């Protein structure tokens, strides 16, 4: 009878489906730093369980923490046992030129899976993001969220009920961020050069004009020079009648002198009512 009972229990146990340990939460956080990737992997079980760790062959600066205690990893492949496991390391494995590529297969069921990628400020997506749909030809598959703090971008994928043996493949294509600040610097330099040129050139122009006027005055006759002096003393303008009174010249003589000066472009006249106003150029 006892043997029969044992056989029945054995048969029942044999027919029951195998029980797999399920990871409650698995978080993978990737941060690109220069030519390497800083990886933080966090695993949470409902109960204490064994977890196989397989690090990339080039993994460096490895830190492992199990249930609050540090674990010294002596190999790239090892097993730890606990409820909360945290693994940190640096690797080049997931970077191909400017592309981020991962292809992961998990040997256990995962209830909640979260994968995040942090893109540094010197990189940007090779294709822009459509804000309404959060899609980009540079991200595969479509992300659940894309956020930015104005400099760095964070891309996140979330999955639920990942089954044992499922593959998770991600691709993000990036490029060097285009820096247009040098254009601003060039424009500033050009403006400064133009301003300096204007300030330096302006006195020269004044000097040339002054020199030209001086040379013209050197060739004036005494009567013509008197007219020019009177115009200078009266803010470079004077009525023709006033000039005749001040100089004492006859009307005919003054008209001839003024015509001569006007032909040589030293003065010019303006008619204002019945009066002629003489201006010194």
Instruction: Dump pLDDT digits (tens) for 60-88.
Output: 999 999 999 999 988 999 999 999 999 99
Portions of the chain given CATH number 1.10.10.10? 222-281
CATH of domain 20-176: 2.60.40.1730
Mapped onto helix, strand or coil, the DSSP state of residue 43 is: strand
Contact 117, 32 (CB under 8 A): yes
**Candidates 3.30.70.260, 3.30.360.10, 2.30.40.10, 1.10.10.10; CATH matching 222-281:** 1.10.10.10
User: Distance between CA 135 and CA 122 in Å, rounded?
Assistant: 21
Intervals of CATH 2.60.40.1730 along the chain:
20-176
Give the integer Cα–Cα distance in Å for 279 and 268: 5
Mean pLDDT of 220-226: 87
Q: What are phi and psi of 191, to 5 degrees?
A: -60, -45
At 179, give phi and psi (nearest 5°). Answer: -105, 115
Over residues 115-171, the pLDDT tens digits come to 999 999 889 998 888 877 778 889 999 999 999 888 889 999 999 999 998 888 999
Q: Are 104 and 114 in contact (CB under 8 A)?
A: no
What is the spatial distance between Cα 231 and Cα 226, in angstroms, rounded to a whole number?
A: 9
């Amino acid at each position: 009878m006892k043997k029969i009972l044992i056989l029945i229990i054995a048969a029942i146990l044999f027919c029951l489906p195998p029980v797999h340990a399920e990871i409650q939460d698995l978080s993978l956080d990737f941060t690109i730093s220069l030519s390497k990737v800083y990886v933080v992997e966090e695993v949470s079980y409902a109960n204490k369980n064994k977890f196989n760790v397989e690090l990339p062959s080039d993994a460096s600066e490895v830190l492992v923490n199990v249930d609050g205690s540090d674990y010294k990893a002596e190999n790239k492949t090892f097993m730890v046992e606990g409820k909360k496991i945290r693994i940190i390391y640096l690797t080049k494995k997931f970077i191909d030129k400017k592309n981020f590529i991962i292809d992961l297969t998990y040997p256990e069921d995962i209830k909640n899976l979260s994968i995040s990628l942090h893109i540094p400020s010197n990189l940007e997506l090779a294709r822009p993001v459509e804000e309404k749909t959060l899609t980009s030809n540079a991200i595969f598959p479509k992300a659940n969220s894309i956020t930015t703090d104005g400099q760095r971008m964070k891309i996140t994928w979330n999955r639920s009920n990942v089954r044992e043996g499922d593959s998770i493949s991600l691709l993000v294509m990036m490029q060097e961020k285009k820096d247009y600040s040098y254009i601003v610097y060039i424009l500033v330099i050009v403006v400064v050069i133009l301003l300096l040129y204007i300030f330096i050139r302006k006195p020269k122009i004044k000097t040339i004009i002054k020199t030209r006027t001086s040379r013209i005055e050197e060739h004036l006759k005494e009567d013509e020079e008197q007219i020019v002096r009177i115009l200078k003393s009266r803010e470079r303008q004077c009525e023709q009648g006033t000039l005749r009174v001040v100089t004492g010249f006859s009307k005919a003589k003054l008209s001839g002198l003024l015509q001569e000066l006007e032909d040589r472009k030293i003065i010019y006249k303006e008619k204002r009512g019945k009066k002629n106003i003489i201006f010194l150029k």
